[in-house]
Structure 1
Amino acid sequence: MDALEMKMAVQRMQEYIDANLHEQITLKQLANVAGYSPWHAAKIFKNATGKTPFDYIRSLRLTKAALILRDSNERIIDVALNFVFHSHEGFTRAFSKEFGLPPKRYKQSTPPIKLFMPEKVFDTYYALQKGGVSMSQKKDTKSVFVQVVERPARKVLLKRGVSAKDYFQYCEEVDSVEVWSILTSVKEAIYEPVGMWLPNHLIEENTSQYVQGVEVPLDYSNKIPEGFELIELDPCTMMVFQGEPYDDEDFMAEIDQVWKHIDNFNPTIYGFKWQPEAAPRFQLAPMGYRGYIEARPVSSVI
């Protein structure tokens, strides 16, 4: 079987699961979507995702259910039935096995948990094979929207690496998918999770410059997951750069474009100067529909 066709077949199954998560899903249905026998469809799915179709569906349903329990007042039994669990007891057993605590206790305290956040197999495969697009292959630099925002005093829940200076090195040092899934579960988050380049005074000895974290209020008092750390950040001014929307497979080239724009940007035109030690520089998760977004600390020159 052609490797590319296999990845595309698995992604078709993933997309079918996403679209039918609140309905009964059978292996035969997934096999029909993939275009292979049930046995073969199940085999290529597990090889690509690391989970059987049944385990994948159950983990995804439990994660979606956890987010509803975190953010709404829905009854546990109603959430369970909505995600095709046939009893409160069965849902509680599955939830406890997945997250290490029963749904009632989770709903009461909403500690950070490891969510299941699968990537689309074909998207990942395509991006890795393509390796991004060089700047010479792209059009001239697109528009980059720039704005200045104020960040209040806050804390950041983060996971340090060993010596990483960028995202790819960080991924070699920690399980970044697990880190991101935990950060995404934080109910008290002020903003979405980000990748950060820490200023020198926040880098501890034998730890990385690049980390992943989520900003939370100063009074955050919920559980700190094992291996994570909570540090305080001073108020700061950030200059945010946002590129145009792009095709997801072109994310590496789009990041390069925004970086080149920043390298050539003169903040003094707007009455600011770079202030790299004032706060972490950060990047939001690249998502094509909104363009690549990165922020760098500045201070007023007035």
Structure 2
Amino acid sequence: MKSIEQLNAVQKIQDYINNHLNEEITLKTLSRVSGYSPSHTERLFKELTDQNLFDYIRLMRLTDAAKTMRHKKKIKIIDISLNYLFDYHEGFTRAFSKTFGVSPKKYQKNPIPVQYFIPYSVLSRHVLKLKEEVKIMKSKTVFVQVVERPKRKAIIKRGIKAKSYFPYCEEVGCDVWGILASIPDALYEPAGFWLPKHLVKPNTSEYVQGVEINLDYHQQIPDDFDVVELDACQMMIFQGEPYDDVNFMQEIGVIQDHIAVFDPKLYGYEWDDKHPSFQLEPQSHRGYIEAKPVKKI
């Protein structure tokens, strides 16, 4: 069991890498960031992320490069390779092609869904294993609003029996998010969905991960993913306060407990189980967000 100090050290490394992808990153620098020796820094990082430190940096750079090419069609491949610290254009092309199964030139022209590298923060991944007690504020502010969702489609990856995130990861794996994040022209960010009964296929899960797209979306769909049509609806959004990463499970509990006792009739609505509910990726700076469909009474 790793200590909170070790988890924080690797989290600091992850944050540093994420903020310096276009700069030289050395083991000496990361050692200073972590507060450990270079050899211990490498070993601890591998233990907590299951990734070699510099393989991790390379995959982060390649994914960021792919995102740049997806949105900037006119930028030259050679400039991209230099921006992400690849010494040679050919080396970048080989690394990109090996990682994503398509050359940079072809991807820039037609950004098909690929497997982006989107690592989990070590605090989020290991917090459930911590035996240390985490104090929670006695009261939390939950911001609630109702938004309109148009008629649309969703690209989803089904599980087997899962009704929540962790069982879904055990059934499907935790790398679905990387593919979803690469899908071009998505309406919103990827989400975890609880499907209504009519959208659940036999022997598949209620909980899925997916991304919403326009009705006229005709680009490539990733293998083993489904497309479902979603009717227009109203969603009641529940958003918590910003929090420390180590507290993310408690923050999810705060919102879900709030929803469990929330009475939408007080505001002229009732729950509408004909549409999916969803949760967004927990991000500490914005608070945890979950949404349930409602309709006017």
Shared fold (TM-score greater than 0.5)?
yes
* Per-residue Cα deviation, 1:57-106 (whole angstroms, up to 9, x for no partner): 11110001000001123221111111011222111111001100001111
Q: Which among 156, 159, 178 is matched to residue 158 of structure 1?
A: 156
The equivalent of 1:170 in structure 2 is 168
User: Distance in 1 between the 2:3 and 2:79 partners?
Assistant: 41
Residues in 2 aligned to 1:37 and 1:203: alpha-carbon distance in whole angstroms: 51
Secondary structure, counterpart of 1:24 in structure 2? coil
**Counterparts in 2 of 1:44 and 1:235: CA distance versus 1, 3 Å:** same
Q: In the superposition, relative to structure 1, how do residues 109 and 215 fare at CA in structure 2: closer, same or farther (>3 Å)?
A: same
* 1:282 paired residue number: 278
Q: CA deviation at 1:38?
A: 3.8
The structure-2 alpha-carbon separation of the partners of 1:92 and 1:179, relative to structure 1 and needing over 3 Å to count, comes to same
Aligned to 1:111: 112
The equivalent of 2:86 in structure 1 is: 85
Question: CA 1:269 to 1:222, structure 2 compared with 1: closer, same or farther past 3 Å?
Answer: same
Instruction: Call closer, same or farther: CA 1:205–1:59 in 2, change over 3 Å.
Output: same
Mapped to 2, the partners of 1:196 and 1:276 lie a distance apart of 13
Residue of structure 2 equivalent to 1:29 = 29
Q: Is the 2:123–2:246 contact (alpha carbons within 8 Å) kept by the matching residues of 1?
A: no
Distance in 1, Cα, partners of 2:35 & 2:289: 38
**Alignment check: 8 A CA contact 1:127 1:249 kept:** no
> What SS does structure 2 have at the residue aligned with 1:58?
helix
What is the aligned residue count?
A: 296
Answer with 96-105 or 267-276: which moved more: 267-276
1:291 aligns with 2:287: yes
1:200 to partner: Cα distance:
0.4
1:139 is aligned to: 138
2:125 & 2:278 partners in 1: Cα distance?
23
Within a 5 Å distance, the mapping from 1:1-302 to structure 2 comes to 4-73=4-73, 74-129=75-130, 138-140=137-139, 142-176=140-174, 178-277=175-274, 279-301=275-297
Going from structure 1 to structure 2, the CA distance change for 1:269 and 1:162 (only over 3 Å counts) comes to: same
Provide the aligned C-alpha RMSD in A: 2.3
Q: Say if 1:46 and 1:210 are closer, same or farther in 2 by CA, change over 3 A.
A: same
Mind listing any 5+ residue stretches in structure 1 that lack a counterpart?
none
Q: Give the drift of 1:283.
A: 0.9
Counterpart Cα distance in 1 of 2:43 and 2:93? 29
How far off is 1:170 after superposition?
A: 0.9
Residue range with higher mean Cα deviation, 201-210 or 250-259: 250-259
User: How far off is 1:107 after superposition?
Assistant: 0.8
Structure 2: which 5+ residue stretches go unaligned?
none
Q: In structure 2, how many angstroms separate the alpha carbons of the residues matched to 1:93 and 1:233?
A: 40
Give the TM-score taking structure 1 as reference length: 0.89
Deviations 1:193-218 (A, max 9, x none): 11110000000000000011100111
Deviation of 1:126 after TM superposition, in Å, equals: 3.6
Q: Which moved more, 1:181-190 or 1:35-44?
A: 35-44
The change in CA–CA distance for 1:65 and 1:26 in structure 2 (over 3 A counts) is same
* Deviation beyond 4 Å, 4+ runs, structure 1: 1-6, 130-134
SS at match of 2:130: helix
Query: Conserved in 2, the CA contact under 8 Å of 1:132 and 1:252?
Result: no
**Paired AA for residue 72 in structure 1:** K
Q: Work out the CA distance in 2 between the residues paired with 1:98 and 1:219.
A: 30
Over residues 102-138 of structure 1, what are the superposed CA-to-partner deviations in whole Å (9 max), with x where a residue is unaligned? 011111111111111122324533453158868xx54
Question: C-alpha separation between the residues in 2 aligned to 1:5 and 1:265?
Answer: 37
Counterpart Cα distance in 1 of 2:145 and 2:4: 41
